[in-house]
Structure 1
Amino acid sequence: MKRRNGEHIGSFAAYGYIKDPNDKNALVVDEEAAAVVRDIFNKFLDGMSKNAIVHYLNDHGILSPAAYKRERLGLKYQNPSVDPAKPSLWCAQSITTILKNRMYCGDMVQGRYRMKSYKVHVQEVVPEDEWYIVENTHEAIIDRETFEKVQRLLLRDTRTGPQQKKLYLFSGFLKCADCGKAMTRSKVGNVVYYYCRTYKDQSKTACTKHTIKHDRLEAAVLYAIQQQVYLAVDYTKTIERINRAPLVKSQSKKLMDAIEQKERELAKITRYKQAIYQDWKDGEISHSDYRHMKEDYERQAEALDEVIGKLRAEQAELENGIDTENPFLTAFRQYQNIDKLTRDILIELVDHIKIHEGGYISIVFRFADELRRIQEFIEVNTHNEAV
């Protein structure tokens, strides 16, 4: 019951928090550890690899979560997956655990592990859909937008070389348009290229090079983002004009009248179908005539259903409306003066980039569904204005 209410029932608080001295089921921020958590998130967003973060923390003598709980907080804590005889150092897994932990954006997350065997004290991971999650139960260390941005980054293939401390600009964003594998980076002299990983590392017959120069790719992606920014600014002006126009009520009435008319036609078709069935049962028409007439009425009914569906969608779009704070508009509008690409911009705006043979690219932007809604909203309203 306490878990469902968002009360903390664990023996130890997550690194970055301590139990509230006045309420053992509540958490408060431990500023010393919380500063390290923020630093980890910031360095990861800045392009530092997890291994590089590990080296940074260990080299600067920052205690690992287990060591911190024992030495700084005086708790009798032992990580069950770590050998107590070995030094307690930061590792890549501890960085991943922190970066994935929703506790840091203020949500209580419990029940992630359960005891597989009480005899040997073996834990197993519980599927995420069985966790107990209650939002906004305690003070956040990481804002939700930053946390979500990091989750998107973690889903990407961002493997780095042993000496590589920072991720490259396009790390985790590039895919071969044909085989779907990640592209790999290569430097020849001072020129950086990207190749299909299947072609380069596995088989030259399984795929082709799909090679592209970094400079050309960067320029193309920057230009494409600038075009999306232009769209966002232009659509914002159009939406402002539409929302100011005194036509919405009259447009809504026209759509409602059209829907009612089509529904009357559909009801008439339904009555005709019932009538010809009775005619066939009474022997007034043959079964063959009945079948052909029935199929014809069903085609008409299907067409009317489709028209009614489209009209209802238009009406819903008109009633719901779109304001200028739409996620697509706000995300792209903020980069009106963009003249250089950064990883932060890519993380916010781009889902992935496909590299085609011959050096052509196709970019899948984030907020594609929102953009589609905007375009449909503008089309419906400008069409109705013209009518």
Structure 2
Amino acid sequence: QETDFTPFLNIMNEWFARDTSKKVRAIKRAQGMAGKHTAVHPLYGYKKDPDDPEKWVIDDEAAEIVRRIFRMTISGKGPYEIATILEKEHILCPSAYLAERGAGNRRNNEFANPCRWWGTTVSYILNRMEYMGHTVNFKTEKTSFRDKRRHLTPKDSWVIFENTQEPIIDEETFQTAQKLRKTGRRPTSLGEANPLTGLLYCADCGARLYNERGDNGKGQFRDSYACSSYRKRTSDCTMHFIRTEVVRDLILSALRSISEYAKANREAFERLVMDTTSDRQSQQMKESRKALTDGQRRYDELDVLIQRTYEDHVAGKLTDKRFLKLSQQYEAEQEQLESELKRLAAEMETMQEQTGRV
């Protein structure tokens, strides 16, 4: 009921809600920095380990659908086409699948069509790095406890812990799928897309070349490429028209020349490939070595910070709560750095092996 104290009670309630929100956020932050999953429910394709609920293990039935989605993407199918195929085959959508097993955010909902797949759902699955066996935290956030929606954070704010669970998709398959999605090579009413679509660029302005297919108005089939910036009027570039069959003839001619040279000059060709690969890997090795040095320096700095924090705590300069919070943050950062340093060391070793296998 409305009383003279209602405004004060509202203020107290506001403070209480805000304080609770800060505590929950701090706990989630510490949990995420320690490499633990911050999501309540596992991602579609995984389930909780019966022996350790904080760990994810592969759900074989759902994982096979995930693998199939990636295979169809690599074969040239788009998200909406994949969604249509899955729906026609009466495969439960992720929400309905999880709800059937008493999991997920919609386990208490009723589904009018539990096999209804959306293209956005397929895209969501294709974007998840977790399927490579990684834990990715802090991808979204809420601006305040009043905010009911989660907002995407910049990618450099994500905290990634590699190899925290068994992968469903290997890294090569994941990266290939991402690359093919960017090229926009999708079957149309005219058949399969040209294999060069998304890979040709204008020599002058650097824009992608659009593939144009259809009737040219004279009863003849037209299949050619043209500068996209010219088509969209985003630059002063010219049309730069070229027929697809001409591009293919040029590529075939180049491949034949390389093959003939390689057969006739095997040693010289091997040296050429070795030199080209060495130059590229030399730059990569230089960058990796710098990252390794910087990471090791930061790791050593954290050792010093942890020691100083402990000394300040013993001397009574830090409260137990503050000491625990700082210690957890430093140790979580060290764990992440340790994982990154191992990855960089393995990457450098692999590059050295590749040079020897050229």
**Shorter-chain-normalised TM-score: which range?**
0.5 to 0.7
Q: Pairwise mapping of residues 1-387 of structure 1 onto structure 2 (< 5 A)? A: 1-71=30-100, 73-78=101-106, 87=113, 89-158=116-185, 163=189, 166-184=192-210, 185-188=212-215, 189-199=220-230, 201-203=231-233, 206-225=236-255, 234=267, 237-238=270-271, 325-326=354-355
SS in 2 for 1:133: strand
* SS of residue in 1 equivalent to 2:150: strand
* Separation of aligned partners in 2, 1:239 and 1:181: 30
AA at the equivalent of 2:124: T
Does the 8 Å CA contact 1:157/1:182 hold for their aligned counterparts? no
After TM superposition, give the deviation of residue 84 of structure 1 in Å: 8.0
Q: Residue 61 and residue 168 in structure 1: after superposition, are their counterparts in 2 closer, same or farther (change >3 A)?
A: farther
The structural deviation recorded for 1:39 is: 0.7
Greater mean deviation of Cα atoms: 84-93 or 16-25 = 84-93
Structure 1 residue identity aligned to 2:207: K
Deviates more, 1:133-142 or 1:122-131: 122-131
Sort the Cα spacing of 1:92 and 1:235 in 2 relative to 1 into closer, same or farther, 3 A.
Answer: farther
String of CA shifts for 1:254-307, please: whole Å, max 9, x gaps.
xxxxxxxxxxxxxxxxxxxxxxxxxxxxxxxxxxxxxxxxxxxxxxxxxxxxxx
CA contact (8 A) 1:19 1:25 kept: yes
Q: Offset at 1:165? A: 7.7
Q: Deviations over 1:74-125 (max 9, x none)?
A: 225239xxx9887563222222221121111111112211223433511111
Inter-partner Cα distance in structure 2 for 1:23 and 1:116 = 32
Partner of 1:264: none
CA contact (8 A) 1:18 1:29 kept: yes
* 1:222 positional shift: 3.9
SS at match of 2:47: strand
In the TM superposition, residue 231 of structure 1 has moved relative to its aligned partner by: 6.2
Aligned CA distance change for structure 1 residues 323 and 221 (closer, same or farther; 3 Å) = farther
Give me the whole-angstrom Cα distance separating, in 1, the residues matched to 2:139 and 2:234: 43
Structure 1 pair 203–66 and aligned structure 2 pair: CA distance change class (3 A):
same
Kept in 2, the 8 Å contact 1:110–1:133? The answer is yes
Structure 2 Cα separation of the partners of residues 191 and 167 of structure 1: 14
**CA 1:16–1:211 in 2, change beyond 3 Å: closer, same or farther?**
same
Separation in structure 2 between the aligned mates of residue 182 and residue 45 of structure 1, nearest angstrom: 21
Aligned mates of 2:59, 2:83 — CA distance in 1: 21
Letter in 2 for 1:33: A
Judging changes above 3 Å, is the alpha-carbon distance between structure 1 residues 128 and 221 closer, same or farther for their aligned structure 2 residues? Answer: same
The structure whose RCO (Cα within 8 Å, separation 6+) is larger is 1
Shift, 1:208, TM fit? 2.3
CA–CA separation in structure 2 for the residues paired with 1:234 and 1:142: 38
| 2: CA distance, partners of 1:176 / 1:30 | 46
Distance 1:241 1:75 in 2: 53
Is the 8 Å Cα contact of residues 27 and 138 (structure 1) preserved in structure 2? yes
Higher helix share: 2
* 8 Å Cα contact 1:239/1:324 also seen in 2: no
- Percent identity over paired residues: 28
CA distance in 2, matches of 1:8, 1:140: 15
Offset of 1:30 from its aligned partner? 0.6
Deviation at 1:143, TM superposition (A): 0.8
Amino acid at match of 2:91: I
Q: How well do the aligned residues superpose, as a CA RMSD in angstroms?
A: 3.7
Unaligned regions of 5+ residues in structure 2, if any?
A: 1-29, 276-348
TM-score for the superposition, normalised by structure 1: 0.54
Query: Structure 2 counterpart of 1:209, which letter?
Result: M
Alignment-mate amino acid for residue 139 of structure 1: E
